[in-house]
Structure 1
């Protein structure tokens, strides 16, 4: 993979900015409330004996994983990343729809959950705009439109 050259169009910058904001916000929130994060990890991964050090390592690994698509899109103009991001963006929505019977028992939580599930879809949609498609087709080459 070669590093993309030239200007990035606004959908790429918006995707990178929003994704980075979400990842940094999650990192700071998780590190700031480590006990709650450890509680969540214990519920998600019951087979692991969690301690503070392991939780911090997992939080940092999660942040790194969140930032990989940003680097692939922003620095390398990797077109396979947009397909990968698009597929992964449907996971939260699919989980809600798969558990709709359970989610319907808490109707107050259904709408906020659905709204949160559409954020990754909106970010993935940015990678399919005309300017972003041109950016990926050119491999981030010089001359990509920014306006």
Structure 2
């Protein structure tokens, strides 16, 4: 096969490497600690989609630093952090999570903060980054007991 027709090389997926979907909140911090206790290299990924609760995004670097300081044996395992702009979610959603308006329950039984497909998109983008980074494990903390009625956080 001529060099120009050769198949593109693919990254080696390392079973010791994980990518954690990390918002900076309680659930994803627990997931990050879980991954750091089990994998030799752990990277994090977060998503800025114009959400009103940016406090979690602001906490992400501080939480990572605190984990590394409080658990020095994890510091060497904690790899790069990735923050992706998914502002397009605000463009395709009609939700109080990405717009300035009152938060309330809708006639369909869901809160008007529900962003359809959000977790699916997070996992899809995380999988693409994990592949490029050689991570074979994705970790996400979509919590069923704290799902606020969101269908994409249920079992």
TM-score relative to the length of structure 1:
0.28
The structure that is helix-richer by fraction is 1
Q: Which has the higher contact order (CA 8 A, sep 6+)?
A: 1
Higher normalized strand content (fraction of residues): 2
